[in-house]
Structure 1
Amino acid sequence: MNKSELIKTLSEETNIPIEEAAMVVNTFVDNMKEALADGDRVEIRGFGSFKVKDYGGYSGRNPKTGDMVVVQPKRLPFFRAGKELKEFLND
């Protein structure tokens, strides 16, 4: 399911216009992104939690050429599924 499908489903299941459903989904996603950018953890009970992990830089090799490359430090989002989601998927 992609974002537009989620908006359409929300609109159909709640009988609200597509524009309002889009506003709800966009507000939800934007607030999650802001919280993660601020270093906060986002938890949705029964679904899972999101957080940002910091990875340090390191020296690596280009697999095609074998040349040494420097990989810059980065911050990446990390999702951990909640217990209820895991149980739902494995039943």
Structure 2
Amino acid sequence: MNKTELIAAVAEKAEISKKDAEKALKAFTDTVAQELKNGEKVQLVGFGTFEVSKREAREGRNPRTGETMKIAATNMPKFKAGKALKDMMN
């Protein structure tokens, strides 16, 4: 499912226009991204948790040359599915 299909499905399920569904989806994604950027986590009980995972700096190897290189520390977004979502899949 791509973004357009998701917007159409949300609009149908919520009985709203596609334009309003697109606004709601954009507001949701922007809000989650901003909270993650601020170092916060977003927890949706029964669905899951969006949080930031910190990756430490490490040494890597260039596969082409075999040369050792430093990989900088980074913050990565992470999603952990909630129990209800996991149960729904099984």
Q: How many residues align?
A: 90
> Which range moved further: 24-33 or 9-18?
9-18
Structural mapping, 1:44-83, within 5 Å = 44-83=44-83
AA in 2 matched with 1:23: K
5+ residue gaps, structure 1: none
5+ residue gaps, structure 2: none
Output the TM-score relative to the length of structure 1: 0.90
Output the TM-score relative to the length of structure 2: 0.91
Identity of aligned residues (%): 37
Structural mapping, 1:1-91, within 5 Å = 1-90=1-90
Give the C-alpha shift of residue 64 in structure 1: 2.5
Structure 1 stretches of 4+ with a deviation exceeding 3 A read none
- Classify the secondary structure of the residue corresponding to 1:43: strand
